[in-house]
Chains A and B, each alone.
Chain A
């Protein structure tokens, strides 16, 4: 089975690709201007930030980046497409011939290019008397399209690939968390020789569903000795099936020509000047190499948050990795969402706790409580209000075991037995130093 994906991701720029309209409007048709409405006499001008993001992704995917690039017009008639041509990249995408390392294999990237999104059509009214409304807020929002070679071998792998890719993209261009909902993909799949394209599938889950449905459908056809027709299909999200699309809808000749209004961009220097951050999955790989983490753990780390990953590295410089990991993947990881911000002070405080626990200056219980207090900002309630309770426990014990005091008067070491017993009785609620201090105080006063 061969699967190739054409992934569309909206770029998180503040303004649109070719005009200065904001990308964040809510009310329909409020973020529009002559350019993104395609009014006669208007023309596009390039949003540099979008170009940079496109280049960054091309770089991240190891693509070859041309010295010069330009845009083209892809002409087709559809009501949501304001100019009836979409400005996209055809001859000179920002990246070509890349490769994406995924679970030990190479997924080749055919091309990465920039284009504008069309508007959105909304159907309203009862069935049978529906009407269509068009919202052009989305018209002109920058998209990047990433096209893979058919190197993916199962629907599940396609989903995992997309999920990984999004993790990387999110980090490299600061895509917001909900960016994933706006991910659209055209999925190409062939079980036998003929390729079928399922257009415009939204979200990771649906990509897997659409591909699974299509894989089963094609397999059945082939088993029955029938032919799979080379065609374009669409995915019905509610019924979870793929359906043959109307022929005309997709099999048009777009008649690409250059977009003269934008001119030619020299992007070679721009691309070379862009510094690419290490991507999350690259970080994960490095953790496996440098710290001996297992693959699952290192991925979990970077996928929870890159700040968490960086905290891990910081701690690992000062504390043995084996002592850091349980804290990072346990307490700290589970409380991560409650952490307001990870400034240097917070980072050092957390590292200090883990370090002193590692040195045996406090037990696990204490370390956990202190970390929790630090991260959530709550008082160290148990430790402090527990002081009286602790005294009570010790007095109680000494009252019930008067012999202990006699031993103590001869040999101070017998305090250790009391310490041990109190620790046990309190279930490790108090730090060892706290117990030691309290026991000594209580026994001295009885001496």
Chain B
């Protein structure tokens, strides 16, 4: 689950730190490699800490190490890393989810741990659900992205994974706030306390395409929310959500293809001592040899979507869809505090099943996590049950900047639901 361990761990004294945390490998860290799961960044030593890492250190946290991930965040199962695959602590033959797979895994097995994760299209909700922990993705712009190796700048959010609701709230307060090094973080309102959650909206087609076991757990959870927590649960229509997935891949890949252009073996990461080829050839060679298959696929998809003639048809249209989805959410939030769906349509799949999935099936697995991500809505993935020993997750979504509602529901559900820890044998 870790792809780099803090070299100072051996000579630390007890009581020096208030808590321990980890950082996803796409957050820069002074003194530890930062490779975002990619071979092309082999050897890169960042000159600065990412804002979130810096804030956690300042709050008294000990950085244990860097958690493994799909290369640059491109994946749903953490199987696209150049540095091994983290395995699910509930069943080692299954995936941790992705792309913050290592982060969720660390949280599931280390008591009191809090992991910094990053979500672009569901990379916190998914692994949190598969590993039976809580994953908080804040509003876009809530946490400075300074020091984050970009996937899609208009989509990326730095968030938290933990087993305790109180930790999520406390540490979000540590890492949130305006930071001039990321101008998109400077427009945020302060984080306030919110009134308690009273009503929850569930999309009519929330269970379409969802496995039976996840459906059952989710239905049970709905009953308990209604009966035990006394919440009003109502069905709503969200017809435009089905456009979220294609739009997400167009936007995410378009931005990613520009972000990844800088990795070419010239200024950091993998490089030759002396470059004797024409630069075009050299860049192509370094990129061909060191990017993984999925990274290459998304670069090609994204480049294609940006080209003249396609730009209007894909990229510009995807931007319009994003607005449409934001409006749809805001319509729902006029009458409801939160929107709820399962987090993933199935429980953590076995690695052999993943090998058999075609790429479209993999992309489709994110259809529940993509709507809140593309619209920048804060969301929280929480365990809502167990099916054949594997955790099932549900995902609450709140309106922009309303993280307070998520903390309220997290605390109340935590009291009502008994979280299981995996049995880990060394």
Contacts and interface: CB of A to CB of B under 8 A. Distances in A.
B258 A85 contact: yes
Interface stretch (A229-237, A259-267, A318-326): A259-267
A134 B48 CA distance: 23
Nearest to B274: A131
B112 interface: no
Contacts of A45: 180-181, 183
Interface string B248-288: 00000011011001111011100000000001100100000
A260 B255 contact: yes
A317 to B, nearest CB: 49
A79 interface: yes
Interface in A22-57: 34, 37-46
Secondary structure of the A contact surface, majority rule = loop
Interface string A113-135: 00000000000000000000000
B50 interface: yes
A85 B261 contact: yes
B315 A40 contact: no
A40 B153 CA distance: 12
Contact of B148 (A41, A79, A84, A257): A41
A262 B255 CA distance: 14
A225 interface: no
A77 B280 contact: yes
A40 B145 contact: no
A258 B41 CA distance: 26
B307 A255 contact: yes
Nearest to A259: B153
Contacts of A44: 183
B285 to A, nearest CB: 13
A204 to B, nearest CB: 32
B258 A40 contact: no
Contact of A263 (B46, B149, B183, B263): B183
Contact of A38 (B50, B267, B319): B267
B415 interface: no
A23 B36 CA distance: 32
Contact of A40 (B41, B255, B280): B41
Contacts of A43: 145-146, 150, 153, 181-183
Given A39-B46, A257-B254, A84 B308 contact: no
B6 interface: no
Nearest to B48: A34
B47 interface: yes
Given A37-B267, A45-B180, A45-B181, A75 B261 contact: yes
Interface string A74-97: 010111001111000000000000
A345 interface: no
B28 interface: yes
Contacts of A79: 266, 279
Interface in B304-320: 306-308, 311, 315, 319
Contacts of B187: 263
B330 interface: no
A111 interface: no
A299 to B, nearest CB: 44
B174 interface: no
22 contacts: A34-B48, A39-B267, A40-B36, A40-B41, A40-B150, A41-B148, A41-B150, A43-B146, A43-B181, A43-B183, A46-B183, A73-B258, A75-B258, A79-B279, A83-B262, A84-B262, A255-B306, A255-B307, A256-B311, A258-B319, A259-B153, A260-B255
Contacts of B386: none
Interface in B158-180: 180
Contact of B44 (A40, A253, A258): A40
Given A38-B267, A41-B146, A257-B315, 7 more contacts: A34-B47, A39-B47, A45-B181, A45-B183, A83-B261, A85-B258, A258-B154
Contact of B153 (A82, A84, A256, A261): A261
Nearest to B306: A255
Nearest to A265: B183
Candidate in B27, B267, B283 with the most chain A CB atoms within 10 angstroms: B267
A141 B151 CA distance: 26
A84 B266 CA distance: 11
B153 A260 contact: yes
B184 interface: yes
Interface string B20-53: 0000000110000010100001001011101000
Contacts of A83: 261-262
Contacts of A75: 257-258, 261, 306
B199 interface: no
A135 B86 CA distance: 42
Which 9 interchain pairs have the tightest Cβ spacing?
A255-B306, A84-B261, A260-B154, A260-B153, A41-B147, A41-B28, A40-B149, A83-B262, A73-B258
B240 interface: no
A73 B147 CA distance: 20
A257 B303 CA distance: 10
A257 B155 CA distance: 14
Nearest to A19: B181
A253 B268 contact: no
B325 to A, nearest CB: 17
Contacts of B266: 79
Contacts of B262: 38, 40, 82-84
Contacts of B258: 73, 75, 84-85, 255, 257
Nearest to A91: B316
A37 B34 CA distance: 17
Nearest to B279: A79
A46 B182 CA distance: 10
A261 B257 CA distance: 15
B304 to A, nearest CB: 9
A85 B259 CA distance: 8
A46 to B, nearest CB: 7
A17 to B, nearest CB: 13
A78 B279 CA distance: 8
Contact of B46 (A40, A77, A258, A262): A40
Contact of B182 (A256, A257, A259, A261): A261
A262 B147 CA distance: 15
Given A38-B267, A39-B46, A257-B254, A77 B183 contact: no
A185 to B, nearest CB: 25
B41 A262 contact: no
A44 B145 CA distance: 11
B286 to A, nearest CB: 11
B41 to A, nearest CB: 7
A1 to B, nearest CB: 29
A261 B47 CA distance: 21
A260 B374 CA distance: 13
A375 B264 CA distance: 60
A40 B28 contact: yes
A139 B41 CA distance: 22
Given A75-B258, A257-B255, A41 B183 contact: no
A40 B34 contact: yes
Contacts of A257: 254-255, 258, 306, 311, 315
A256 B306 contact: yes
Contacts of A84: 258, 261-262, 264
Contact of B183 (A34, A78, A82, A262): A262
Interface string A227-255: 00000000000000000000000000101
Contacts of A85: 258, 261
